[in-house]
Amino acid sequence: MNAELAYLFRHALLRDAAYQLQLPGGRTRLHGLAFEAIEAMAGGRPAELSPLGEAAPAPFREHATDAFAEDLARHAHIAQAWVAKWPNAAKLYLRRAAELAQIGYQSALAVRCWRELAELSTGKERGEALLCAGIIALRSGKNDVAETLLVRSANCFREAMDQLREGVALTELAAAYARQARFGKCERTCETASALFLQVGDR
């Protein structure tokens, strides 16, 4: 194959057209094969990370798959029929991509990955992913985005009856209100958070 043909085949429009020509089952299989190939090339799957929200999480350890974490998460998520072979693989790699983006001060990417992880999660785990996304959005000046994420996080913890983590989410939400000069709402949110902390005996 000469250079011109190789370039034409790599063109984004042709690549997308070739992808769309695949039947859904074929796409699932191709994503599964891509996942397996990338993971094998990078030395296999990394160990599971500490549960979100753990008081003293284990330090994040780099792994050869980290350079492909976003792609691996996407392939694992799309390859639904292969899920039994890789339980929680999409969540593992989304979490790693989020942590890496956070470490590298890539705020927008970190928020996106945490939000995507939240959509794959339930209960407290969803609350923690939304809390992480909300805190990063708040620290990077995206107050409106932070407010939405932190309200959702607090609601998740409330449904899970985790008063401590709900209080943490509300504390961050109060900071978002303060940055928007909504001081009355900030004060009421702080009072609610304080009441929750008192109920669980956390001064």
* pTM of the full structure: 0.85
- Contact between 175 and 137 under an 8 Å Cβ cutoff? The reply is no
pLDDT per residue rounded down to tens, the chain (203 residues): 555 555 555 666 766 777 667 766 777 888 888 888 999 999 988 988 888 877 777 888 899 999 999 999 988 888 865 556 666 888 999 999 999 999 999 999 999 999 999 999 999 999 999 999 999 999 999 999 999 999 999 999 999 999 999 999 999 999 999 999 999 999 999 999 999 999 999 88
CA distance 60 to 102: 11
Contacts 24+ apart (CB under 8 A), 114-121: 115/149, 116/73, 117/91, 118/152, 120/77, 120/90, 120/91, 120/94, 121/91
Non-local CB neighbours of 6 within 8 Å, separated by 6+ positions: none
Q: Where do the structural domains in the chain lie, given as residue ranges?
A: 16-47+62-104, 106-203
Both tokens of residue 176? 């978002």
If you search the block for the tokens 């792609």, which residue do you land on?
Answer: 71
106-203 belongs to CATH 1.25.40.10: yes
pLDDT of residue 27: 79
CA distance 21 to 29: 14
**Burial (CB count within 10 angstroms: exposed 0-12, middle 13-18, buried 19+), residue 141:** exposed
